[in-house]
């Protein structure tokens, strides 16, 4: 057997929904009270119409936002993309990428939503209930909730909410670009989520952890990087 069969692939949407409702009981949105030295960025890449998915987690030094190492895994998924159920499609592969890490990050930023989800179980929240590392989500588009457009200045933000419940934030990561949506996944609170997101803003629209993860899984899919765990050669100038 080349690829581990996934339990998630056998689920129906109805079954997936009940799993989300059950996992929601395990959510813990409270301060991580821990210093962050390494942050991980998680993302997946795939060819259209293919069941093969390329997953990756890139580790960055939190202070400098410099990539330190990365884990890449090629896997398969048959669970379809259905808004609200992204976790069932991507988590099995992300779990393999995490297991393969020889160095574990203090927190992980996942490409997708945390609790900014109809049942508060976006991929980052779901992943966070399955692993021992705090998680948060950063998505490029809204899935659930309402918000007012934040000012067009980098760093400006608005709250994302459902009824009166706070779900996350809509953050302008760069002047005059569409904002990103950040929300806690598990074992982190709202303020920390926002502070971390602001800390990770670079010169691009995407936050550095997810931007680097996206970059790496794409290089992997196109054959420019190899599967496995690799430290990044910190080349010294001169």
DSSP assignment letter at 221: H
Residue pair 174/203 in contact (Cβ under 8 Å)? The answer is yes
CB atoms within 10 A of CB 232: 14
Shortest Å, Cβ 199 to DNA? 20
Nearer to DNA, 37 or 122 (CB): 122
Q: Of 20, 21, 33, 38, nearest to 189 (Cα)?
A: 33
**Judged by CB under 7 A, which of 41, 56, 67, 122 binds DNA?**
122
Nearer to DNA, 118 or 202 (CB): 118
Shortest Å, Cβ 21 to DNA? 13
By CB under 7 A, residue 140 contacts DNA: yes
Nearer to DNA, 142 or 161 (CB): 142
Nearer to DNA, 121 or 196 (CB): 121
Shortest Å, Cβ 99 to DNA? 20
| CA distances from residue 62 to 30, 38, 133 in whole angstroms, order as listed | 21, 5, 15
Of 2-10, 112-120, 128-136, 191-199, which segment contacts DNA by CB under 7 A?
A: 112-120
**Judged by CB under 7 A, which of 55, 123, 200, 207 binds DNA?**
123
Shortest Å, Cβ 37 to DNA? 26
Shortest Å, Cβ 10 to DNA? 18
Residue pair 25/95 in contact (Cβ under 8 Å)? The answer is no
Nearer to DNA, 81 or 231 (CB): 81
CB neighbour list of residue 61: distance below 8 Å, 6 or more residues apart: 37, 38, 68
Strand 157-162 to 135-139 pairing? unpaired
What are the structure tokens assigned to 153, written together? 């200045």
Shortest Å, Cβ 121 to DNA? 7
Say if residue 43 carries a ligand binding annotation.
yes
CB atoms within 10 A of CB 150: 16
Residue pair 78/50 in contact (Cβ under 8 Å)? The answer is no
Judged by CB under 7 A, the chain residues 39 through 58 that form the site for DNA are 43-48
**Judged by CB under 7 A, which of 7, 81, 204, 231 binds DNA?**
81
Q: Which position has the token pair 């200045």?
A: 153
**Judged by CB under 7 A, which of 36, 68, 218, 229 binds DNA?**
218
Q: Of 131, 99, 101, 84, nearest to 4 (Cα)?
A: 99
Say if residue 106 carries a ligand binding annotation.
no
Strand 67-76 to 228-231 pairing? antiparallel
Binding site residues for Mg(2+), as ranges?
43, 111
> Which residues contact DNA by CB under 7 A?
43-48, 81, 83-87, 111-113, 117, 121-124, 137, 139-143, 176, 214, 217-218, 221
**Binding-site residue ranges:** 43, 111
């Amino acid at each position: 057997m080349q690829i581990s069969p996934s339990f998630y692939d056998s689920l129906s949407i109805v079954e997936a929904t009940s799993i989300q409702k059950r996992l929601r009981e395990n959510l813990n949105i409270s301060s991580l009270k821990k210093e962050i030295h390494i942050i991980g960025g998680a993302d997946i890449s795939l060819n259209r119409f293919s069941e093969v998915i390329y997953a990756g987690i890139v580790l960055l030094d939190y202070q400098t936002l410099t990539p330190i190492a990365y884990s890449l895994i090629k896997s398969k998924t048959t669970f379809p993309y259905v808004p609200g159920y992204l976790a069932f499609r991507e988590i099995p592969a992300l779990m393999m990428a995490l297991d393969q890490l020889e160095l574990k990050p203090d927190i992980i930023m996942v490409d997708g939503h945390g609790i900014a989800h109809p049942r508060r179980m976006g991929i980052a929240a779901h992943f966070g209930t399955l692993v021992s590392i705090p998680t948060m989500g950063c998505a490029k588009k809204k899935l659930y909730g309402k918000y007012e457009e934040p000012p067009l200045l980098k760093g400006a933000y608005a709250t994302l909410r459902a009824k009166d419940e706070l779900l996350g934030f809509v953050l302008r990561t760069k002047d005059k670009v569409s904002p990103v949506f950040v929300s806690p996944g598990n074992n982190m609170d709202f303020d920390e989520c926002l502070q971390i997101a602001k800390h990770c803003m670079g010169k691009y629209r995407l936050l550095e952890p997810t931007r680097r993860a996206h970059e790496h899984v794409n290089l992997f899919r196109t054959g420019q990087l190899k599967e496995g765990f690799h430290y990044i050669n910190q080349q010294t100038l001169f």
